[in-house]
Amino acid sequence: MTVTIDNAASWREIARVGDGETLALAPAAWERIAYANRIVASLVEKGIRAYGVNTGVGALANQVVAPALQEKLSRNIIFSHACGVGDLVAERGIRAIIAVQVANFAHGHSGVRPQIVRNLITFLERGCIPDVPSRGSAGYLTHNAHIGLVLIGEGRATVAGRRMSGREALAEIGLEPLVLGAKEGLSLVNGTACATGLMSIALNRAERLMRWADAASALTLEAAGGQMAAFDEQVLALRPSPGIEAVGASLRRLLDGSGLIAAAHGSRTQDALSLRAVPHVHGAAHEVLERSVQLVDRELASVTDNPTVSGTIDQPLVFSQAHAVAPALGQTADALTIALAQVAAMSERRIDRLVNPLVNNLPAFLAAEGGCNSGFMIAQYTAASLSNVNRRLAAPAATDGGVTSGLQEDFLAHPTVAANKLLAVIDNAEYILAIELMAAAKAHDLLTGKAARAPGTDAIYQAVRQRVAHYGDDRPLSWDMETLRDFIREVDVAQ
């Protein structure tokens, strides 16, 4: 399928491109791009001073660049800003970043040639994935610059599974290296495409993660004989919250008709908080996620280039501003990181309640033959370790600040760092939920014959057992963790 952008893309459309769909622009978007490019040409012709067009960048903004050197300026910006280090960004992340770059240019206030946009779209169509190191971006510059390298025939990229030079990659997909014109080098590295693209991927994964968190908690609640009074619709309504309401409804639906829940009714006055407070913790995360969705869509509706161009060919206008700074993105990524770290921490506590003989009536560590078998003892250690990492990652990036470019860039919002931390927490949370699903399924195996599962939880149990078999200390549990984590990462609960 093809995602077509006219005025503004949505985060969900960007995520779809990240997952492999192609991208197209509406005719009006192409017209805006071409007109903005003509405005830049007019600025150059009239000698109107414009940041990054006929001046240096950053602390060099007051140094004028002669017209004969403007192509060199654009090329040099790409080279000097390609300073990323570390592991490469995953393919879906690169595709999402490119999609956001195209969407930003489509607003018609950047001034790049349509050919640049066409080539970026061809990268997506033909599967040309530039090498982009994941670390080193204080805001947005480095990731974008590494994509720009391939446009000019430099850097490295992967096409059809083969890694090659940027020039070879262009030839493979039928393109020639571009010679960048005035402002194009700056526009290619500028804007919030990096953080916005990565956040779009994170939102897509977080949505699925939250549905699996509800599913895993329901399977555990049933195995633990949870007391459903805590999730009564009228009771939850006493604390008005769309998130609490939604999660409570999800739990009631999944556990409706459970013989195990019915058999445990009244056996305890109330459950531990890791069971009783699921609607509150998951619900809070749902609400943070909803706020994040709104902010990312707002970012996609915004022009995030600096400078922006407008006006007419006869009277071109250029504005230096700070639209490429994205404190809202950094803040919402930090908030969602904290929310999902809490969801994962609660999952780890539920795992402990399944394996801990001090708080349940199941065999110790879910091992059928205690002593000889350790069961899920060390799997809970793994979950505790990952949760510990998440707590450290949940420290906010947006407040770190910093000073760069000789005091010219004396405030940093760190949205890309925040987005990377969020993705890392999602990675860990997926593993923790996979472990909970495995432990809950094993608990249900040990409860066979006691009473029937609810239809909703039985579907979850069957989905787990279709991917990983009953565990009897007969293989490394790590293999099962990887298998189930891959499953819940790519497949929704309803499927």
Residue 89, both tokens: 């960004």
Position 139 confidence tier, pLDDT thresholds 50, 70, 90: low
Whether residue 311 contacts residue 39, with contact meaning beta carbons closer than 8 Å, is answered with yes
**310-335 mean pLDDT:** 94
pLDDT digits (tens, 9 = 90+) for 278-320: 999 999 999 999 999 999 999 999 999 989 999 999 999 999 9
Residue type, 300: L
Q: CA torsion, points 426, 413, 99, 420, in degrees to nearest 10?
A: -20
Residues above pLDDT 90, as percent of the chain: 84
Position 411 confidence tier, pLDDT thresholds 50, 70, 90: low
- Residue 148 main-chain phi, psi, to 5 deg: -60, -30
Q: How far apart are CA 484 and CA 418, in angstroms?
A: 27
Helix (H/G/I), strand (E/B), else coil: 246:
helix
Residue 402 has pLDDT above 80, yes or no: no
How many other CB atoms are found less than 10 A from the CB of residue 234? 6
Three-class HEC string of 322-348: CCCCCHHHHHHHHHHHHHHHHHHHHHH
Domain with CATH 1.20.200.10 in the chain: 199-490
Residue 458 has pLDDT above 60, yes or no: yes
Residue 136 has pLDDT above 60, yes or no: yes
Residue 90 has pLDDT above 70, yes or no: yes
List strands edge to edge, sheet with 156-159. Answer: 128-130, 156-159, 162-165
pLDDT on residue 106? 97
Q: CA torsion, points 188, 191, 193, 195, in degrees to nearest 10?
A: 130
Residues above pLDDT 70, as percent of the chain: 97
Least confidently predicted of 183-192, 280-289, 408-417, 418-427 = 408-417
Q: How far apart are CA 116 and CA 151, in angstroms?
A: 8
pLDDT digits (tens, 9 = 90+) for 173-216: 999 999 999 999 999 999 999 999 999 999 999 999 999 999 99
Whether residue 54 contacts residue 47, with contact meaning beta carbons closer than 8 Å, is answered with yes
- From the list 205, 187, 72, 165, the residue with the least C-alpha distance to 120 is 187
Residue 471 has pLDDT above 90, yes or no: yes
The single-letter DSSP state of residue 1 is -
Residue 269 has pLDDT above 90, yes or no: yes
pLDDT on residue 356? 95
The single-letter DSSP state of residue 357 is T
Residue 475, both tokens: 């293989």
Residues paired with 159 in a beta bridge: 128, 162
pLDDT on residue 62? 78
Residues paired with 133 in a beta bridge: 88
Least confidently predicted of 121-125, 367-371, 458-462, 466-470 = 367-371
Q: How far apart are CA 486 and CA 2, in angstroms?
A: 26
pLDDT on residue 495? 53
CA dihedral sign of residues 63, 65, 66, 69: positive
How many other CB atoms are found less than 10 A from the CB of residue 468? 21
CATH superfamily of 2-190: Fumarase/aspartase (N-terminal domain) (1.10.275.10)
How many other CB atoms are found less than 10 A from the CB of residue 187? 31
Domain with CATH 1.10.275.10 in the chain: 2-190
Q: How far apart are CA 202 and CA 42, in angstroms?
A: 40
Residue 103 has pLDDT above 60, yes or no: yes
- From the list 260, 267, 228, 477, the residue with the least C-alpha distance to 367 is 477
pLDDT on residue 407? 65
What is the distance between the terminal CA atoms of the chain, rounded to a whole angstrom? 21
**114-132 mean pLDDT:** 98
Buried b (16+ CB within 10 A) or exposed e, 342-361: bbbbbbbbbbbbbbeeeebe
- From the list 313, 251, 312, the residue with the least C-alpha distance to 277 is 251
* CATH architecture of the domain formed by 199-490: Up-down Bundle (1.20)
Q: How far apart are CA 87 and CA 372, in angstroms?
A: 41
CA–chain centroid gap for 2, Å, is: 21
- From the list 197, 145, 209, 114, the residue with the least C-alpha distance to 425 is 209
The single-letter DSSP state of residue 55 is B
pLDDT digits (tens, 9 = 90+) for 430-441: 999 999 999 999
The single-letter DSSP state of residue 471 is P
Helix intervals (H) in 256-277: 259-264, 273-276
Position 59 confidence tier, pLDDT thresholds 50, 70, 90: low
Average pLDDT of the chain? 94
Peptide bond into 307 cis (omega under 30): yes
Q: How far apart are CA 490 and CA 208, in angstroms?
A: 8
